[in-house]
Amino acid sequence: MNIYKRRKIINAFMCSATFICATITLLPLISIFIYVLSKGASSLNISFFTHLPRPVGEPGGGMGNAILGTLTLIGLTCLWAIPVGVLSGVYLAEFGNNKFGAVVRFSADLLNGVPSIVIGIFAYILFVVPMKTFSALSGAFALGLIMIPTVMRTTEEILLLVPRTIREAALALGISQFRMTISIVLKTALPGIVTGILLAIARIAGETAPLLFTALGNEFWQRGIMQPIAAMPLQIFAYAISPFDDWHRQAWAASFVLITIIFLMNFISRLVIYLQRKSLKAK
Amino acid sequence: MEKVKVEGLNAYFSNIHALKGINISIKEKKVTAIIGPSGCGKSTFIRCINRLHEVVPHAKVSGRILFDGKDIYSSAIDPIEIRRRIGMVFQRPNPFPVLSIYDNVAAGLKLNGMKRKDDLDEIVEKTLKMAALWDEVKNKLNASGVSLSGGQQQRLCIARTLAVKPEVILFDEPCSALDPISTAKIEELIFQLKENYTIIIVTHNMQQAARVSDYTSFFLLGELVEFGKTQDIFTAPKDKRTEAYITGRFG
């Protein structure tokens, strides 16, 4: 066998190996989705979205409170995590070329690696213990700690992609650094930042551990942010470990809804990028 | 009348000494060309004049640049004001990609707080006409600035610079990324602009310097070798190095 033939065979083998590995990464997602769809879709109906859970044994009921609770938690989290995340990302990209910036960057990466259960306990000690109540607020605090590093680092990376020539053009027009950053650089980077935010939301939407010690969960409709609040991941957790078939079905349905929400988030974020690119080309 | 007087200017990038003791005086409403081989400090020099050099990390400047008799590096002077009065057109056309043609021209005014639509409309039209671009874009002012051709983009950048009403305009090799026809248009524009503006143009192209400028300075390795009337520099250079560069023996 000559050397060329051998190389060809090795080449073919290695190429197939990469393809097979790529397929392996695809399989879990597809199988999860199909499985959850087949188990959960059948239990979906209008009352699932609008009704409260029923006691054990009574058929019907829904997860309206958990769906609303998850949306509330996401909203509350975004309220503080997006400004903090985006602005700290701006700091890192525009002024963070120093020791402090390096420290912040490193801490953000570490925070990103802190197990979410630990973040939950931290929020419990900081909020729940002194306030003497589980609350939506403490849940939003815990989720924010998970969201901020992601938003911050994507914002920084996207801002650094804006070419220096664009910044210099703005400065050369006598535009202040603040206006340049807000009106030119952030605007240029906006689709990327929005994508980062949507992906971060998709991530926190499914978080369970940080909510166990903070939002706690709630069988009823929420009554303000200083009270315990229901959330889909919590409800799934509670129902899945219960011994009742009816609750299992509900848990599957909730999993399906949650996954769909996360898929939609991802899809929208990609759509945002696509539309932005298209509108720039078409003009 | 001298508009800009440079006295003992030194510029550094961390420990690289990019400009060494430059003294030059730029006449008002004339075109001064800066020629020299790559890396001789031409661009650095004009970036010192609008205080853009210091934006680069680890860049430093010493010496004085008098603009209408006032040192632009004195601590009482805000670089933002200097950049408004001394505009700059860059080597590669760099319109703001997310802004429309209209907003590109209006950016310098809008982002400095000018809001009246009528005034903005008037200035946008006037400066686009001055930049000889109005007829080509008047029907698509809302299109993206980057949808234009390279030469049009560069004229858009000139219009954008004119809109903030500078007194001096710095051109940093404005034609090096353009084809000969666009180049001719820009040169013609520079010729018209010198009636009202003081112009400093960095160029690699010696014919261009000869065509558009009244004065020429020759830079080499961060030093100003020779400065004089363009005619004199090109026909009777005093320095041997200038002569060698102009006749194409190096560079």
Three-class SS of residue A230? coil
Interface of B with A in 3-42 (CB under 8 A): none
> Is A186 part of the contact surface with chain B (CB cutoff 8 Å)?
no
**Chain A residues with CB-CB distance to B164 below 8 A:** 173-174
Interval B22-35 mean pLDDT: 94
d(CA B98, CA A163) in angstroms, rounded, equals: 13
Task: Using pLDDT thresholds of 50, 70 and 90, give the confidence band for residue A275.
Answer: confident
Buried b (16+ CB within 10 A) or exposed e, A53-69: beeeeeeebbbbbbbbb
**Chain B residues with CB-CB distance to A97 below 8 A:** 57
The residue ranking higher by pLDDT, A272 or B140, is B140
pLDDT, tens only, A185-227: 998 898 889 989 998 999 999 999 999 999 888 888 888 888 8
Residue type, B2: E
Residue of A nearest to B57 (CA): A97
Task: Using pLDDT thresholds of 50, 70 and 90, give the confidence band for residue A268.
Answer: confident
d(CA B20, CA B62) in angstroms, rounded, equals: 10
Q: Does domain B2-94+167-246 have CATH number 3.40.50.720?
A: no
Q: Are A167 and A185 in contact (CB under 8 A)?
A: yes
Task: Using pLDDT thresholds of 50, 70 and 90, give the confidence band for residue A280.
Answer: low
Interval B185-210 mean pLDDT: 92
Interval B62-75 mean pLDDT: 92
Asked whether residue B29 carries a pLDDT value surpassing 80, the answer given is: yes
CB atoms within 10 A of CB B221: 14
pLDDT, tens only, A95-105: 888 899 999 99
CA A164 to chain centre: 30
Task: Using pLDDT thresholds of 50, 70 and 90, give the confidence band for residue A283.
Answer: very low
* Contact between B57 and A97 using a beta-carbon 8 Å cutoff: yes
> Is A173 part of the contact surface with chain B (CB cutoff 8 Å)?
yes
Determine the residue among A95, A165, A173 to mutate to test chain B binding: the one whose Cβ has the most chain B Cβ atoms within 10 Å.
Answer: A173
What phi and psi values does residue A45 have, to the nearest 5 degrees?
Answer: -155, 180
Interval A64-83 mean pLDDT: 94
CB-closest option in B55, B112, B157 to A174: B112
Residue A190 distance to chain B (closest CA, Å): 10
* Contact between A183 and B161 using a beta-carbon 8 Å cutoff: no
Residue of A nearest to B162 (CA): A173
Q: How many CB pairs under 8 A join A and B?
A: 83
Reported ipTM:
0.90
Q: Is B211 left (phi over 0), alpha (psi -120 to 50) or beta?
A: alpha
What phi and psi values does residue B39 have, to the nearest 5 degrees?
Answer: 80, 15
Q: What share of chain B has pLDDT > 70, as a percent?
A: 100
What phi and psi values does residue A87 have, to the nearest 5 degrees?
Answer: -65, -40
CB-closest option in B83, B112, B144 to A172: B83
pLDDT, tens only, A13-66: 999 999 999 999 999 989 999 999 998 888 888 888 888 888 877 777 888 899
Q: Give A5-58 as a DSSP string.
A: HHHHHHHHHHHHHHHHHHHHHHHHHHHHHHHHHHHHGGG--HHHHHSPPPPTT-
- For chain A, what's the residue count? 283
pLDDT, tens only, B3-24: 999 999 999 998 899 999 999 9
- The pLDDT mean for chain B works out to 92
Asked whether residue A180 carries a pLDDT value surpassing 70, the answer given is: yes
Mean pLDDT lowest among A110-114, A128-132, A222-226, B80-84? A222-226
Q: Are A214 and A120 in contact (CB under 8 A)?
A: yes
